[in-house]
């Protein structure tokens, strides 16, 4: 999937906006692949996979397109 970094929080988490969905996906910095959390900026395009957790669907394997 593709999306845009919508919000970054100082605790190493954030949200990705997905064009086909009204709901943003949560992610944790431990889900980044080949990119550091410190290098992300709001508005950056990323590609990712999704995973169902007990709290809902989250973004995982987040990387540059």
Where do the domains of the chain lie, and which CATH numbers do they carry? 2-63 (2.40.50.140)
25-56 pLDDT, tens digit each: 999 999 999 999 999 999 999 999 999 999 99
| pLDDT score, position 21 | 85
The dihedral sign for the CA sequence 31, 35, 41, 44: negative
**For residue 20, what pLDDT is reported?**
84
For the stretch 11-16, contacts whose Cβ atoms lie closer than 8 Å and that sit 24 or more positions apart, written own/partner, are 12/37, 14/40, 16/46, 16/48, 16/59, 16/62
Read off φ and ψ for residue 28, nearest 5 degrees: -115, 150
């Amino acid at each position: 999937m593709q999306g845009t970094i919508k919000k970054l929080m100082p605790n190493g988490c954030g949200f990705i906006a997905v064009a086909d969905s009204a709901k943003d996906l949560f992610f944790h910095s431990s889900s980044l692949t080949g990119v550091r959390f410190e290098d992300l900026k709001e508005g950056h395009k990323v590609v990712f996979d999704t995973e169902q957790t007990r709290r809902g669907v989250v973004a995982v394997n987040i990387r540059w397109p």
